[in-house]
Amino acid sequence: MNDENNVVEILLVEDTEADAELTIRALRKRGFANHLVWVKDGAQALDFIFSRGEHAGRDLADGPKVVLLDLRLPKVSGVEVLRRIKGDERTRQIPVVVLTSSKEEVDLEECYKLGVNSYISKPVAFDEFTRVVGELGLYWLLINRPPTGKPE
């Protein structure tokens, strides 16, 4: 059993500070922000997920339970982060929700091809945004429990 305090429930990958702050506030309102880690680019996201770089030594079993991923990111793109998560046995089962302002059909198709779990386009209105983000947390953290089978 892991130490409850080390478990990361949500990894938020978002380079726009305002979007990140608003997302975190929206999640906090629903009580989902207690175990949230925010990284600002795709490289940091991969380091965190795969316990490398400054996150070396972190137990992969400590989550995250869900990744909220922006697509337009510095260094490594969101699509690439998604590809790496879904391409690795150890991380494949982590739900990834693409959270972006892009409604580009190309992105959407690419993400579904790579096995994205959900795709949410950020609404402009904050109330709507809060609602969507809140429901997102509710769905992926409470309702949609991922298969618990860890590699033996």
Partner 1 sequence: MISRSGAAMVRRSVASDARDGEDIAATAAIRFVDLVDVPSLQALLDSLYKVIGIANAIIDLQGVVITQSGWQDLCTRYHRVNPDTCRRCVESDTSLADSMTRGEHFATYRCLNGLVDTASPIVVAGQHVANIFTGQFFVEPPDLAFFHRQSREFAFDEPRYLEAVARVPVISQERVEAITGLYAQLAQVLAANGLDRLHQLAAEQSMEDANRGLAQRTQQLEAANAELEEFSYSMSHDLRTPLRAIDGYSKILTEEQGARLDDEGKRLLRAVSDNVQRMGRMIDDILRFLRMGRRKMEYGAIDVGALALEAFAQLQAAAPARRLCLEIGRLPAAWGDRAMVRQVMLDLLSNAIKFSPADAEAAVKLDGMAQGEENIYRVKDCGVGFDMRYVDKLFRVFERVHPTGQYEGSGVGLAIVKRIIERHGGRVWAESRVGEGATFHFTLPRKRQ
Q: Applying CB under 8 A, which residues contact partner 1?
A: 16, 18-19, 21-22, 25, 101-103, 122-127, 129
What three-state secondary structure class fits 84? helix
Beta-carbon count within 10 A of 118 CB: 16
What minimum distance in Å lies between the beta carbon of 96 and partner 1? 21
**Residue 64 DSSP class:** -
What three-state secondary structure class fits 51? coil
What minimum distance in Å lies between the beta carbon of 71 and partner 1? 12
CA 114 to chain centre: 15
Nearer to partner 1, 127 or 152 (CB): 127
Nearer to partner 1, 25 or 30 (CB): 25
**Residue 101 DSSP class:** S
Question: For 115, phi and psi rounded to 5 degrees?
Answer: 95, 30
What minimum distance in Å lies between the beta carbon of 25 and partner 1? 7
Nearer to partner 1, 21 or 59 (CB): 21
What minimum distance in Å lies between the beta carbon of 69 and partner 1? 16
Beta-carbon count within 10 A of 143 CB: 8
Nearer to partner 1, 103 or 145 (CB): 103
